[in-house]
Copies of this chain bind each other. A is one copy, B any other.
Amino acid sequence: MSTIEAKLQEIGLPLPVAPPAVGSYIPVVRSGYLVITSGQLPFVGKEIAFKGKLGAELHEQDGWNAARLCVVNALAQIKGCVGSLEKISRIIRVEGYVHSAPGFQNQPKVLNGASELLLELFGEAGRHTRIALGVAEMPLNAAVQLCVWAEVTG
């Protein structure tokens, strides 16, 4: 188990096995030293753990937790692609989309769930650029969708 995986276990977010590609697209791609995931949803197993809109059914803390789950799922996909999380040399970008009810504008706080986890796991190498948007409608009614871009070695 990599040290990153051990940290995840320790904080109660054990790395799942990356679900295989379903349908006509793939969950992760590598191009040179860049690895980019598809949009990740807050799945736990086959269920979306946080459904609904921030500012309506969901509280900020729910969104924060959903964003963490999206990161865990993204890391599972990156491991599936490159073999080990130890090959990640840097996280370079997070694209964060928050399912938002009218008037909800705390997307950054929600996405801090993702950003802070990456920082906790990777230290300075986890500091990334970010976009933070509120979207009106989300696949499967998920609270958050998130793409992670990483640089890898080897």
Q: How far is the CA of A100 from the CA of B141 in the complex (A)?
A: 13
Is the C-beta of A128 less than 8 angstroms from some C-beta in chain B?
yes
A23 contacts which chain B residues (CB < 8 A)?
A: 108, 112, 115
A113-154: which residues lie under 8 A (CB-CB) from chain B? Answer: 115-116, 118-119, 127-141, 145, 147, 151
Chain A residues 83-130 with CB under 8 Å of chain B are: 92-95, 97-98, 100-108, 112, 115-116, 118-119, 127-130
Cα A27 to Cα B130 with chains together (Å): 8
Given the complex of chains A and B, what is the CA–CA distance between A139 and B94 in angstroms?
Answer: 16
A116 to B25, CA, bound (A): 8
Q: Across the interface, do A115 and B151 meet the contact criterion of CB distance under 8 Å?
A: no
Chain B residues within an 8 Å CB radius of A135: 133-137
**1/0 contact trace for A42-56 toward B, CB 8 Å?**
000000000000000
Q: Are A137 and B103 in contact (CB under 8 A)?
A: yes
* CB-based contact A129/B38 at 8 Å: yes
- Interface of A with B (CB < 8 Å)? 21, 23-29, 31, 34, 36-39, 92-95, 97-98, 100-108, 112, 115-116, 118-119, 127-141, 145, 147, 151
Besides A28-B129, A103-B137, 5 new A-B residue pairs in contact (Cβ under 8 A), listed by A number: A25-B128, A31-B92, A105-B140, A106-B139, A133-B138
